[in-house]
Structure 1
Amino acid sequence: MKKLLTALSAFIVSGIFSIFALPNTQMVKADDTPVVTLGTSLTSSQRQGTINTLTASLNSSNYQTITITGSDLVKYLNPSGADFTNDSGVWSSAMIQKASSGSGINVHILPYNGRNNITTITANQYKNAALTAGISDADIYVTSATPIDGSGALAGVYAAYAKNGDKLNQDQINAAQNEMNTLSKITQQNKDKNGYSDAQLNNAIAGAKSQMAKQGQNISNSQIRDIVNNQININHLGDTINNNQKEQIINLLIQIKDSGALKDKNFQQQASQLADQIQAGAKNIFSKFNTPETRNWFQKIVDSVVNWFKSLFSGIMILNN
């Protein structure tokens, strides 16, 4: 279990701007002892400040630490398209703590000295990427002593696994990194549009993953396309997500399927929990979707069919009487 814990702990370790990338393996579960991951580029004062920030909720409880270096990034992230060197800096840090079974993946982005230095990636984007990476039932705390986009906050997981002798799935690493980059880019492109929110997008992705898992590893690309179209409509994104962005999402989910992520028996349950978490955290957005005025097209069609049958049967009963 300690191997798994260390792996998870490294979760949001990697570094500045392009010094970030995504992780993945089979559903990883944190151990009881929290693990703090620290970028090797931190100064002594930044290192201590990072530890203080990440462990504030522990009330002086025990924790472990692990340091991530540029060589870790080269080994595990360059195969997925990054261009790190052994001298690449690593600043972003995280703490991973086991959560009770069924709690799902919880991500907390913490300010460092009162400032949020994770400039681009959202908590929901981290959650979705962690799900693809194979993490389950964990509390993840993320911070950085310097401003960074956060586009690969899961990179340390792979280095931690490797240091403990566990084999990593590079296909899942690639899928997780692609997911982080894709969702972040789409949110940046749509952030000023009415009717769009990062929560809607990530809820659609989590919902799609859950539906894909129900159908299993043999799901076809055509079925994935149908699922994406359905989730876009359910989440009222049809007027904001353009065709190019939709194709990016479809290709991303196909890559996740091809990575083998759907084979894990916990994937569907964790995806459903993630969708519930996202909706609970953005009730002001999702509560609007359940009113008669804002129901999606599919719901309206179902309502029409149900009402038609009700009218038909009512007419038949009248004739029989």
Structure 2
Amino acid sequence: MKKLITGITLTFALAFMLPQAGSANVGINEKFGLPIVVYGGNLSDAEKESVAKELDVAGEAEVEEIEVTGQDLITYIKDGDSRARMYSSAKITRKDAGAGLVIEIVTPDNITQVTNEMYANAMLTAGIEDATVEVAAPKPVTGHSALVGIYKAYEVNGEQLDPERTDVANDELAVATEIADSGVEDAKVSELLTEIKKQIAEQDPATKEEVQKIVEEQLTKLQIELSPEDRQLLIDLMDRIRKLDIDFSKWSTQLEDLSKTIEDKIGTVVNDEGFWQSVKNFFNKLIDGIRGLVS
């Protein structure tokens, strides 16, 4: 379903898209440095060339190119496996404060689990804001390694990311894809995560019990049914987010804009349950076929 929705909607934009996005190349940004292209470390030479084309590397005045490997996983993720295979790649262009995040999966057929909104939510949790991020892969992969590559790009650019936040962000991506795999529509998963975060920002819960109440309220409001196991995963995740060193008041605008984007996307979906079930069945089979791949 994600691929079809991506194909019939405009490029996802979180917060305020720059009015000159897509305009002529203005050369090297001397304030933020070069765009950084992060290639999955397990790409072959031919695959790397294909990804570079998809990310329009040649169209940039100049870029910095690096690789993300399984070794980087253990830097940003507590239980990361250094033997993981890394294929999904990204180009990151930093923007001025207030520009927000613009996320585009340029090879939607090859990023099988992670959506634009899932990336955006996880990046906000990790502390990444104000950038244009394009994601690509040369073959079907889940898309998780692109997030680790984005972390690495920011540190190469001189940013210091909180390892606790990057670990929680990875956990968030895992929970989001787990819930989506259980049968909840991708857009509804992103809506659920965003609405819970908005309530955490507004209510400032002090205990896990208060977080659980917020989660339960949003599940009821959005009419989402989860297994007891997935429900507990979500509560545990949101309690971890509550404990992070985050100024939640600064999230309000970005979460509100993300919420509006998701609502607009849900509004474009054709209200035909039989049609969407056939689409979901197709992609469930595709995901089952590649579930053994770690990316």
Give the TM-score taking structure 1 as reference length. 0.66
Aligned to 1:64: 63
Counterpart check, 1:45 vs 2:46? yes
- Select which of 171, 174, 179 maps to 1:178: 171
Instruction: Indicate how the Cα distance of structure 1 residues 102 and 212 shifts in structure 2: closer, same or farther if over 3 A, else same.
Output: same
Corresponding residue for 1:34?
35
- CA deviations 1:249-300 (Å, max 9, x no partner) are 111111112232x32553232222211111112214699xxxxxxxxxxxxx
1:151 aligns with 2:144: yes
Deviation of 1:172 after TM superposition, in Å, equals 0.8
Look at both structures and tell me which one has the larger radius of gyration over its CA atoms.
1
Q: What are the residue-to-residue correspondences of 1:47-196 with 2, within 5 Å?
A: 47-55=48-56, 60-70=59-69, 72-77=71-76, 79-85=77-83, 89-98=85-94, 102-111=98-107, 116-163=109-156, 166-190=159-183, 196=184
- Show the counterpart of 2:198: 210
How do residues 221-240 of structure 1 correspond to structure 2 at under 5 angstroms? 221-237=208-224, 240=225
Letter in 2 for 1:62: A
Cα deviation for residue 162 of structure 1 reads 4.2
The size of the alignment, in residue pairs, is 242
| More deviation, 138-147/160-169 | 160-169
Say whether the 8 Å CA contact 2:86–2:145 is kept in structure 1: no
Q: Contact 1:133–1:172 at 8 Å: present in 2 too? A: yes
Tell me how far apart the structure 1 counterparts of residues 167 and 63 of structure 2 sit (CA, whole Å): 28
RMSD after superposition: 2.9
Looking at structure 2, the residues matched to 214 and 64 of structure 1 have their Cα atoms a distance apart, in angstroms, of 40
2:4 maps to what in 1? none
**SS in structure 1 at match of 2:144:** coil
1: CA distance, partners of 2:100 / 2:60: 23
Shift in Å, 1:96: 1.8
For 1:285 and 1:146, the matched residues in 2 are separated by 26
Equivalent residue for 1:272, pick from 256, 259, 279: 256
C-alpha contact (below 8 Å) 1:98/1:139 kept by paired residues: yes
How far apart, in 2, do the equivalents of 1:108 and 1:149 lie?
15
Percent pairwise identity:
24
Say which of 202, 206, 210 aligns to 1:219: 206
Q: Structure 1 residues 141, 164: closer, same or farther in 2, change over 3 A?
A: closer
Secondary structure, counterpart of 1:153 in structure 2 = helix
Write out per-residue CA displacement over residues 235-259 of structure 1, whole angstroms, 9 at most, x where no aligned residue: 221xx32332222111111111223
- The CA deviation at 1:129 is 1.0
In structure 2, the CA distance between the partners of 1:73 and 1:234, relative to structure 1 (3 Å rule), is same
- Name stretches of at least 5 consecutive residues in structure 1 with no aligned partner: 1-29, 191-195, 288-321
Aligned partner (choices 229, 239, 242) of residue 244 of structure 1: 229
Task: For 1:183 and 1:132, locate their aligned partners in 2 and report how far apart those are by CA, in whole Å.
Answer: 13
Q: CA deviation at 1:32?
A: 7.0
**Aligned residue runs from structure 1 range 233-312, under 5 A:** 233-237=220-224, 240-260=225-245, 262-263=246-247, 265-284=249-268
Deviation at 1:102, TM superposition (A): 4.5
Unpaired runs of 5+ in structure 2? 1-30, 272-295
Can you list the C-alpha shifts for 1:89-143, whole angstroms capped at 9, x where unaligned?
Answer: 43221112345655533321122xxx72212222222121112111223222111
The two structures have a TM-score, normalised by structure 2, of 0.71
- Structure 1 residues 90 and 208: CA distance shift in structure 2, 3 A: same
Task: Output the CA distance in 1 between the equivalents of 2:270 and 2:200.
Answer: 22
CA contact (8 A) 1:131 1:271 kept: no
1:11-26 equivalence runs, <5 A: none
User: In structure 2, what is the Cα distance between the partners aligned to 1:184 and 1:225?
Assistant: 20
| CA distance in structure 1 between the aligned counterparts of 2:124 and 2:193, rounded to whole angstroms | 11
Q: For 1:151 and 1:179, how far apart are their aligned partners in 2?
A: 11
Q: 1:281 to 1:62 in 2, by over 3 A?
A: farther
3-state secondary structure, aligned to 1:117:
coil
Conserved 8 A contact 2:38-2:150: no
